[in-house]
Amino acid sequence: MKSRNYIVHLAGVIAMIFWGMSFVWSTQVYQNLNPTATIFLRLFIATIFFTAILFAFHLNEKVKKEHLGLFALAAMFEPFLYFIFEGYGLKNTSPVIGSGIIALIPLVTPVAARIFLKEHLTAMNIVGVIVMLLNKDLEFIASPKGILLLFGAVLVAVGYSIALIKLTKLYKPLTITWVQNIIGMLYFAPMVVIMERFEPSNFANIGGYIVPLICLGVFCSAVAYSLWAFTFSRLGASRANVYSNLIPVFTAIFSYFIIHEALTANKIIGILLVVFGLVLSQMKGKKQ
């Protein structure tokens, strides 16, 4: 039983590593593709990967018609609305700041789902995010538009968490992620056509972004979401959300070494405050 628990916790950590890295990979791809095109191709790659795995190893489950509405709702939250907010928000901020804001997801969720979750928001989390957004002269270093879009992604993720609670009781993690990606891809198809008119992508330079794009599809949209659904189903929403604390930490490390984003004192202090506040909220939740 203990070894099984280690697997669950390891799955949560690996998912956060991939999602922490996703902010860096996305930033690299956005230099050539707009966010909607990036996400559509990311989901397309994930769908091909999943279809091959599920049918090759006979892991596919039959989805009941009465549950399609719940899948459609979950996919509307994530990947559709969430990736729109995150994608365009990240395009107007930096990977570290983006991941720091996204790390607030497990704290905002209980506001809308107190029946399911027992976590509490602490003032330290809010202070931590604000510190990351300011420079040494106390001026905002990130676009207000980008910040608002990222907070929109946080709110959308709340709805997804609630839908995921119900789905994990009905289907296996692989099935949930596979169906979710297919429906999400259908949502994004018309958006790609519309956005290409306003913000054309540079598909010709595919050699410059194909590797991070494939990584986004395989590791972030396929593997990470499956591992997260598995962790979510075993630990429950409250305990599983603890792992979101690690996203800004991994993003900061990867951003520094891969795209050479400076780790300023404000960002380091802000990240530490966010992480400490998140851990503190979890400790309070367990005492109650």
Q: Which residues of the chain have pLDDT under 70?
A: 1-4, 94, 96-147, 237-242, 245, 266-267, 270-271, 273-288
pLDDT at 259: 77
Question: What pLDDT sits at residue 113?
Answer: 44
Classify residue 285 as exposed, middle or buried by CB count within 10 Å of its CB (0-12, 13-18, 19+). middle
The pLDDT assigned to 275 comes to: 65
What pTM was computed for the model? 0.74
The reported pLDDT for the residue numbered 72 is 95
What is the predicted pLDDT for the residue at 116? Answer: 43
Confidence (pLDDT) at 110: 47
Amino acid 228: pLDDT = 87
Burial annotation 221-237 (CB, 10 A radius, 16+ → b, else e): bbbbbbbbbbbbbbbeb
